[in-house]
Amino acid sequence: MSIQDTIREQVTAHPVVLYMKGSPQFPMCGFSANAAQILKACGVDKPFTVDVLQNPEIRQGIKEFANWPTIPQLYIKGEFVGGSDIMREMYESGELKQMLDTAKG
Amino acid sequence: MTTPEAIEGYLRTGIVCDHLAVSGDGAHFEAVIVSSAFAGKSRVARHQIVYGALGDRMREEIHALSMKTHTPEEWAAIQAGS
């Protein structure tokens, strides 16, 4: 299975997937820490997260998958939602919580 | 070291900007970009336009870039509201 297939499988197998540096408990980058905190604030206590620092192939592959050069990256129901700036904007406007509530339910 | 001025230059080369402000410390940067190129585009598509203008520099020189992207109309509304 190619790395792109692995990523596609991950993002479709779980309703909410966050690719980040480190873990929600031990984030290794401020942007990843923010992203995990925003999900928590939206009521997603245990998102499926992938630590790209543990997997260099995914770290590179995820950038190609979404044509997006930075991490974190959030996927909801298989769809790329955005990075930390977009997550913050959508959190502040209430859009993100709405999307997450729909995805969970 | 990359400067905010250098990033401004890269962005102006790739995007016609009505307003552009970049600040940062050499590793982390923040940009406010106002362009009619963003009209009708999703947030993701807007950021992809910006990343496209920066190209490989996003991988090599710039560790982190936080950005706000607005159309001229959105920007005028923000200015009027503040």
CATH code for the domain in which residue A59 is found: 3.40.30.10
Residue B57 near chain A (CB below 8 Å): no
| Mean pLDDT (whole number) for B52-81 | 92
Residue B44 near chain A (CB below 8 Å): yes
Fold of B4-81: GMP Synthetase; Chain A, domain 3 (3.30.300)
CB contact (8 A) between residue B44 and residue A69: no
* Pairs from B46-54 (Cβ < 8 Å, separation ≥ 24): B47/A68, B47/A82, B47/A83, B47/A85, B47/A86, B48/A67, B48/A68, B49/B15, B50/B11, B50/B15, B51/A68, B51/A69, B51/A70, B52/B14, B53/B10, B53/B11, B53/B13, B53/B14, B53/B15, B54/B7, B54/B10, B54/B11, B54/B14
| Mean pLDDT (whole number) for A97-103 | 94
The alpha-carbon gap from A31 to the nearest alpha carbon of chain B, in Å, equals 9
- In the predicted model, what is the mean pLDDT of chain A? 95
Supply the pLDDT for residue B77.
Answer: 95
Contacts of residue A84 in chain B, CB cutoff 8 Å? 66
Q: Is residue A105 included in any domain, yes or no? A: no
The alpha-carbon gap from B53 to the nearest alpha carbon of chain A, in Å, equals 12
Q: Is residue A104 included in any domain, yes or no? A: no
Answer with the residue of higher pLDDT: B58 or B30: B30
**Considering its fold, how many domains does chain A have in total?**
1
pLDDT band at A105 (very low <50, low <70, confident <90, very high): low
Residue B62 has pLDDT above 90, yes or no: no
Give the nearest partner residue to A82 out of B43, B59, B64, using CB atoms.
Answer: B43
Residue B14 near chain A (CB below 8 Å): no
CB contact (8 A) between residue A86 and residue B44: yes
| Mean pLDDT (whole number) for A2-12 | 97
Q: Is residue A41 included in any domain, yes or no? A: yes
Does the pTM exceed 0.90?
A: yes
Supply the pLDDT for residue B40.
Answer: 97
Q: What's the ipTM?
A: 0.88
Residue A21 belongs to what domain range?
3-99
Supply the pLDDT for residue B49.
Answer: 96
| Mean pLDDT (whole number) for A22-50 | 95
Supply the pLDDT for residue A1.
Answer: 86
